[in-house]
Structure formats: C-alpha cells, structure tokens
A and B are shown apart, each in its own frame.
Chain A
Amino acid sequence: MAKILKPDELTQINFEPPRTGWMNTPVEFRPGTWCYSAAPKNLKYLDLPNPREWQPSDADWKLPANWKEIILEGFKERLEKYRSFRLFMDICVRCGACADKCHFFIGSGDPKNMPVLRAELLRSVYRRYFTTSGKIMGKLGGARELTVDVLKEWFYYFYQCTACRRCSVFCPYGIDQAEITMIGRELLNLVGCNINWIIEPAANCFRTGNHLGLQPHAIKDMLDFFADDIEDRTGIRVEVPINKKGAEILFVTPSGDLFADPGTFTCMGYLMLFHEIGLDYTWSTYASEGGNFGLFSSHELMKRLNAKIYDEARRLGVKWILGGECGHMWRVLHQYMDTMNGPADFLEEPVSPLTGTKFENARSTKMVHITEFTADLIRHNQLQLDPSRNDRLKVTFHDSCNPARAMGLFEEPRYVIKKVCNHFYEMPENTIREQTFCCGGGAGLGTDENMEMRMRGGFPRANAVKFVQEKHGVNRLACICAIDRATLHSLMEYWVPGVEVTGVHEMVANALMMKGEKERTTDLRGQPLQKMEGSEDV
C-alpha cells in the first residue's frame, strides 16, 4: 500500500487543467491511485480472456497480438447492442455541466476525471474508427488513434469511476457515465485488463455463492455466532433458517454483512427483526450474495452471477425474495435481474405476511427491499420500538448512490430511521438524495492499494458529514449499502474522526423491543445503552 498523504496535504487541490492538451497528456500510474491487476487463477476460473501475470505499472501489459482488432470489434458490437452507448457517443455537446459533479474530480482536480472528458477518452476512438468526419478530419475532428497509451488511459480512468451516476443527474441529455464506464471496462476485459478487487470477488461468488468465498459451513458458523451475540445482548435465541425448502421468503443480502464490522451488526439486525415478527424465511448458502461484482466488469458476468438468486428461489420453492441493505445489488436487482434472468413466474407477487401489504412496485421481479418491508411494518404498528435506546446516536443518512439514482429509494430508509432514533439530521441539500455523493470506493475500487484515490473520491461525502458533525454533533453515519459500510469507515477515520458507520437495521434492532427479552444494557456493539455520566462520548 502506498503511503497516503495527510488530509490537509490531500486537499491542496488544483482545478486548473495542465497546459498540454488532454490528447497529448499520457497517463502516469501514481501509486495509491490504481488497483492491482486480476490474478490469472481468477480469470481462468471465470473463463475470461488473457490470464497472465502483469501489473498496470508495467511497461508491457502483455496484450494479445491482435488486441486492437479485439477492442474495435467489441466496440462495434456494443454500439449495435446498446442504444444508450451509441447515443452517448454522439450527442454530448461538452457543455461541462457534469464537469464538477464527479467526486473524483472534486477530490483530485484531474481534468480527465470530469465525466465529459472521461467519456471523451472513448469518444475520440469512436470518432476515429466509426464516424466519417473523424476518419477524415483526424485530431481536428476530435478523433485519435487507438494506441497502447490510450488503452492504459482507459484503464486508469475507467477504474477511477465508481459508476455512481451523479453526473447524469445534471446532464441535459441524461448521458450516464456509468453506462460508458461499464462498456469501457467490458472492452478492457476483452483483452484481459481487469483488476483483482473485482475479478476475485466475482470468481469467489461464482464458486461459493459469495464474494468472500465463504463456504456453506462457514456461513452457518457466522450466523450461529451472531445468534450467540444476540442471545448475549437480549436473552433471546433467534432461529437461523438456512437452505430451508418451502420457506415463504428467500432472504438475500451482501456477504459483507456476514463478515465485516459494522455490516455484521446490520446482519444481527435482520436476524432479530425476522425472529421478532416470526417471518417464515430462509438464508441460502448457494445464493449467499446480493452484491454483484459482475456489474463492475461486464453485463455477461453480471448475468452469470445474478442467475443464482432466481435459481435458488425456484429450488427452495419460496414465494418471493427479500433483499438486504446493499447499493449495487439493488441496481442489478432493479434494473437488470428480471430482464436478464426472468421471468420470475414461478414466484408470487410479494405480500407482507404481517400487514397484507402488496408490494405492487415489485410485481414482476418479486423482490422487495428490506427498507420497504420494514417501513411497511412500522407504518402498520407491527413493531414495538423504543427509539430512546439510540439516543446516544446523532444520525445522518448517506443515500447510497445506486438505490438513490437507479431506483429513487429515498423516503423508506428515512422513515425507518426517524422511527428508530430521535436525533436525525440531514446533510446539506446538494449532497443528498439524487445529488448524493459516492463513498469513493464503489464499483470495485474499495481496495487498500487505491487508498489515496478513495480518500480523494470520498472527500465530498466526508465533507458533507463533517458539516453536520460540526453543526449538530452527528456521530453516526447510516447507510443502506455494504460497500458503504466497508469503505465509509476508513473515509470517516481519515476525514471525520468520531463518526461511526451503521446500517439502518442495526438501529432498528437496537430500538426493537423483543417479546421476552431481558433488560438490555448494551446495544449490538456491546456499548452501554444509556450514556453514563462522564463516560466517553463516541
């Protein structure tokens, strides 16, 4: 891991572009701003092209001899397959409205992180090989040759985009950099230029069902361990149904919740909630992952990984599927799953067994978001809640990019949070809801060798948190995304010490008054519930 600068060194940001034109400024692979290449074994496991030992900092990337043909052929194929791609190559007027909307640009000042320019990296090649004017006019027409340097530039910048889509909110034509980045990454994947932080989780997911490579018995161990912890805190032994045939609901959540704090507390939250309402549900070890790292490399890999969820729902004979707190997972489930791996006609339209509410907005996919489900429970007074148990917390909410901009899931989590805690504060207007800022580590970039770029990219998010920390004393940052729970932690540590990260259902579980529970003295983290006089503020 490269040495990371101190916060006040990192904020010496210069928005002034360099003197040399962008076509003549080759990329420099500075340590701390890129991710390691994918290990050959992971590529082989997924049958992906050109497995080999290499690193992006090498001069020779060991590309296949016909790499240029492969890329151009792939380019053409995608222009014919995606109207979005073809259109986004053609209609940008470079008005610059997107330029200062990208968290990586704000945090780094690198002009190629302006979404418009990041897209131009592809567009310039598009013009040269696929438009008449570009073929004739060359550089004057904004066209340029596809060279190894251009390919390296693609790699550097397409793996410096978290596909958060904030830029598309401001674009007058809705040009979506996430779509362009996805295609750019697909092209790179065709010649084996991928990063390990994406391909290894994808390979794991393919084999074991989840990113972390947790085998079935390990999943059971983890869940049992959580059940022990819950018993310790509440005196109640929750049941953990796994691979249970004939359950009413299949529950799918990102595997990060099984493994890393603070996701584990969110996971305990799910277990407690489901136990308390007596939900007939099951976990699956085969479909033990909601998050889909395929989304970060290619549509095809996304489909291959996503297929497990419907397959498992069919095998177990459930009625519908409930999905946990996760960002990218919901982008795939919402926008791709039904089209790619549907129709889900073997399932039933989701109905809450407790309230009878029909989730009509999930009529076709048959998959409901946990905050939709819980908000409905609370609305129908199905839960006994004591929000004062979260009184130590001053909470703000981070709209995770994908549920926010792909779905428009804004009110459900806010409704839940406001019912389970008494102190909730919004971050400034231009940094929440559809204008929310990315954590800086999404789309597979949340690895430590990329730490400088993560801290730069997360700077706008952190800065907004810092604002409410100073104004309202906020000490908890709630989110509904596993990548957030993994990456916001280091972001807060770096930029806003004193703010901890939490999932929404951790707070639900803290406030949840369970039938027959013992008097609770600590929250799920084992911290005392009531703030004692003179005790250390967290």
Chain B
Amino acid sequence: MNVWFSLLAVIILVLIPLGAVGGASLGYLFGIVIPYTAFGAFLCGFIYRVFQWGRSPVPFRIPTTCGQQKSLPWIKASFFDNPSNGVGVFGRMALEILLFRSLFRNTKVELMGQRPVYGGAKWLWLAGLTFHWSFLFVLLRHLRFFTTPMPSWVDILTKMDGFFEVGVPTLFLTDAALLLAVAYLFLRRVVIPQLRYISLPADYFPLFLILGVVLSGILMRHFYKVDLFRVKELASGWFRFTPVVPDGIGLPFYVHLFLVCVLLAYFPMSKLMHMGGVFLSPTRNLANNSRTRRHINPWNYPVKVHTYEEYEDEFRDKMKAAGLPVEKE
C-alpha cells in the first residue's frame, strides 16, 4: 500500500506539468514561480531544521566508540574510531560522511542449523555510496547550465563522466550509476521482508521522486531532446534575478524541473534531512574524553539525594555494633 501510494503521488506530480500543456502561464509558473518558491522553501526549511536541532543542547557526552580508548601510553588507541581529540573527531566524521564507514561494517545474520551466523553485507554500503556520490557528480555537472563562463573543473568533470563515450550524446556514467543505485535501494525495500515491514510512504516517495528526476533527465538528454541553449538562458536568468522564459524549451524539461522543485521543497520536512543531521549526531561528532575533561550540562539542576548524615542516622547503632567508624557518637 505504501509503495503504491508513493508511486501514485509521483505519477500525479509528473502529470501536473504535462497536464498544464498549452496553458498560458506554463512558462511563468513552472519556469519561474515554482523554482523560486521551491528553492526558498529548501533554503529556509533546511536552515530552520538545523537551527531547531542546534537549539537543543548536548547535555552529556555520549559518543559510541568503535575501537580502543586512549588510556595507558603503551596501549595503542584507535585514533579515528575512538577519537580523544578534535583531529580524531574530524577524521571520524570525514570517514563517515565521505566513505560511509559505519555502513561498511554492516553484517548480515542468517540462521544455519538453528545457529546465527554473521556474514559480510556490503551491498547497502556500495549502493548507498554510489547513489550519493553519483548524485553529487550529477549535481555538479549541472553547473554548466548555471555558469558563464563554465569553470574548467566542471568541464573536466563532465568529460571524465563521459569518458567511455558510449552513444551520442555520450551516456554519463554517473547517470547510469545513479539509476542502478536507486533501483537497488528501491528493490531491497520491496524484496527484503523486514525492510518492507519498516518502510513508510516517506521511504518510497523520495526514491520514486529521485527516480523520476533521473529518468526525466536521461529522457531529455537522449530521447526527447530539449534546447539546451534555452535551458541555459532560463537558468542563468534565475541567478541574475531577471528570469525570462524562452519559448520552446520543450515539455520534458518542465517535468524534470518540476520534480526537482518538489524534491527541494520536500527535502527539509523529510528524512532527507539526514544530510544535515549526520553532522550533528552527538554519538559521532564528539571526542571520547569525558573522563579527561569536564563537560557542562546547561540545564543541570540539584536533585534530592540521600545524604551521608541521613544514612548514618538510620544505621548508626548497627555501624557501631559492627565496629565501623561513625561521624557522631
């Protein structure tokens, strides 16, 4: 049900710009108003969410450690997995964010003859990493539509991405990788029973949405070609805040753009915010030094304790009888 609902939602989203074909306001609404609104919603929403997290303090140091602590000098400490200082934390975060280190550890349990056996399970790591890196490359490649002159590194990136020169125009490797990764991430959700069980519409919807973005992009590049000069004209207009909608860009472009806009606007209110959240996770971004340095809890307050005096008052006679020292005779 969750799958179908999400798929239906994305289909409707595709139909919206298609259905608006020939409408007089198509260009202005879908080319200018919606993109600006979506980008504004993304920016404000993202900042708001990070601000909201930031407003809650971190009262206790609760890092999860994955390696030997720093203790006696002759015991080798795990510098990145159990960081005792900022450099280690930086390394740990970098490994996490750039290489998905925790997912790399992933294992899979299987019952063999009624005994659990743990095997490696790196597919999620591989698909996740491929997905995110490809997405980033695709995004960076898009800079060529927004910048004049185009920075040379974008050009280099684009050339690298089309290195194998498959087809005309060249098929970008990251497009293919992104498509494969999204397909894998979707399929595992549907095929693995436990994953299907935990998956909400909020898990399928972004996958379908991103799939829609990628497919519409590929269609536009390889099958229903749009006029890239006009796309660039529109895109650079956005950044000069003097947008004009050129005629005849082609409908597939508006589908692509609309889906991207929905993705942007949806981003801050969804689980996609893990992009911002991963930097703030207190179990990962703190050094494991709570015995070395005192950390302050901003809302620390006095609590009711059972004092030694109260304790001795209750047990004094027994303590004396047992020959234990007491404060008051």
- Interface of A toward B, CB cutoff 8 Å: 8, 11-13, 15-17, 21-22, 47, 79-87, 90-97, 99-101, 106, 111, 114, 116-117, 120, 131-133, 140-142, 165, 168-176, 179, 206-209, 215-217, 220-221, 242-245, 285-286, 300, 303-304, 307-308, 311-312, 315, 333-336, 338-340, 342-343, 357, 359-365, 367, 372, 375-376, 379, 404-412, 415, 428, 430-431, 433-435, 459-460, 463, 466
Contact = CB atoms under 8 A, between A and B. Distances in A.
Contact of B59 (A141, A339, A404): A339
A463 to B, nearest CB: 5
A100 B121 CA distance: 11
B69 A90 contact: no
A142 B200 contact: yes
Contact of A304 (B59, B115, B303): B303
Interface string B197-228: 11111110000000000000000000000000
Given A176-B64, A372-B71, A408-B78, A82 B306 contact: no
Contacts of B53: 83, 86-87, 90
Contacts of A407: 65, 69, 288
Given A91-B271, A244-B325, A333-B291, 7 more contacts: A90-B273, A217-B321, A311-B305, A335-B290, A338-B291, A408-B68, A410-B67
25 contacts: A17-B193, A82-B58, A93-B274, A96-B198, A99-B198, A100-B108, A131-B269, A140-B201, A170-B106, A172-B100, A174-B102, A179-B62, A217-B321, A220-B324, A221-B322, A243-B324, A304-B303, A308-B306, A315-B308, A335-B61, A339-B294, A340-B297, A364-B290, A406-B62, A435-B107
A375 B72 CA distance: 9
Contacts, number: 310
B197 A111 contact: yes
B109 interface: yes
Nearest to A93: B271
Given A172-B100, A335-B61, A340-B300, A94 B203 contact: yes
Contacts of B307: 311
Contacts of A170: 102-103, 105-107
Contacts of A81: 56-57, 59, 299
Contact of A367 (B62, B67, B291, B325): B291
B311 to A, nearest CB: 5
A485 to B, nearest CB: 22
B116 interface: yes
B319 A285 contact: yes
A79 B59 CA distance: 12
A360 B292 contact: yes
Interface of B: 5, 49, 52-62, 64-72, 74-78, 81-82, 84, 96, 100, 102-103, 105-109, 111, 114-116, 118, 124, 128, 192-203, 269-271, 273-274, 277-278, 280-284, 288-297, 299-300, 303-308, 311-312, 314-315, 318-319, 321-325
Nearest to A84: B282
A94 B306 contact: no
Contacts of B271: 90-94
A333 B290 CA distance: 9
A114 B296 contact: no
B56 A82 contact: yes
B277 A90 contact: yes
A96 B192 contact: yes
